[in-house]
């Protein structure tokens, strides 16, 4: 029973790790949150990471920019509401040491230069 519990815990931990995409400075990452799409990147600002996410709804086309300066251990959450009764679509940027990761939805991908 202990082996089964340990295997389950390891598989849950592995799944959690698989749901994040590591970002690199000045490398654009494509985002799609339902009908809202855009890109995100970060740049170094001294000891901080300045995260910039620019999003726009397809029908309206007016872009919105979100900027956060993250220290080690800090997070930024971007949330797009849905129809009443449905949960919001969210993407989270999390800094841990020298790494910035973005929570992965099926349409979050790193753009290659």
Residue 62: what pLDDT?
Answer: 87
* Cα pseudo-dihedral 83, 85, 89, 94, rounded to 10: 150
Of 53, 91, 96, nearest to 74 by C-alpha is 96
- What are 43's two structure tokens? 């740049």
Q: What is the pLDDT along the chain (113 residues), one digit of tens a residue?
A: 443 333 333 333 333 333 689 999 999 999 988 889 999 999 999 999 999 999 998 777 789 999 999 999 999 999 888 888 888 889 999 999 999 999 865 445 555 55
> pTM for the whole thing?
0.73
């Amino acid at each position: 029973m202990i082996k089964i519990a340990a295997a389950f815990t390891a598989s849950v931990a592995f799944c959690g790790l698989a749901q994040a995409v590591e970002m690199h400075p000045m490398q654009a990452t494509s985002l799609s949150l339902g009908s809202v799409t855009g890109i995100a990147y970060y740049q170094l600002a001294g000891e901080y990471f300045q995260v910039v996410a620019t999003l726009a709804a397809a029908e309206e086309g007016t872009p919105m920019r979100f900027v956060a300066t993250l220290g080690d251990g800090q997070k930024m959450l971007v949330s797009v509401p849905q129809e009443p009764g449905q949960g919001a679509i969210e993407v989270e940027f999390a800094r841990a040491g020298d790494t910035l990761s973005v929570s992965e939805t099926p349409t979050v991908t790193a753009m290659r230069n």
